[in-house]
A = this chain, B = another copy of it.
Amino acid sequence: MSDINESFGLAVRRRRVDLGLSQEELADEAGLHRTYISLIERGLRSASIETIIKLAKALRTTGSQLLQNVEGQIDGQ
């Protein structure tokens, strides 16, 4: 199941980079620690629904949109 965490991490990283945010800026906006953002982006932590929604708000998107990206990647596996 780690594919899910990797896909989610990639979706977060892409959106963050698209917005021109550093990991530190995203961490500040989401109220999370920069180290935790780094672990999430590398698929090394499984985000909780609360974390997903905090990240989505800071990334000016929605949790459901982030999950759609993940589901697009894991479909067909």
Report the minimum CB–CB distance from A9 to chain B (whole Å).
10
Q: Which of A1, A48, A65, A68 has the most CB of B within 10 A?
A: A48
Q: Is the interface of A mostly helix, strand, loop or mixed?
A: helix
What CA separation (Å) do A44 and B64 show in the bound complex? Answer: 21
Contacts of A63 in B (CB 8 A): 67, 70-71
Report the minimum CB–CB distance from A73 to chain B (whole Å).
12
CB nearest neighbor in B for A52: B49
Set B50, B62, B70, B71: member contacting A46, Cβ < 8 A: B50
Report the minimum CB–CB distance from A49 to chain B (whole Å).
5
Contacts of A70 in B (CB 8 A): 49, 53, 63
Known: A70-B63, A71-B64. A48 touches B50 (CB 8 A): no
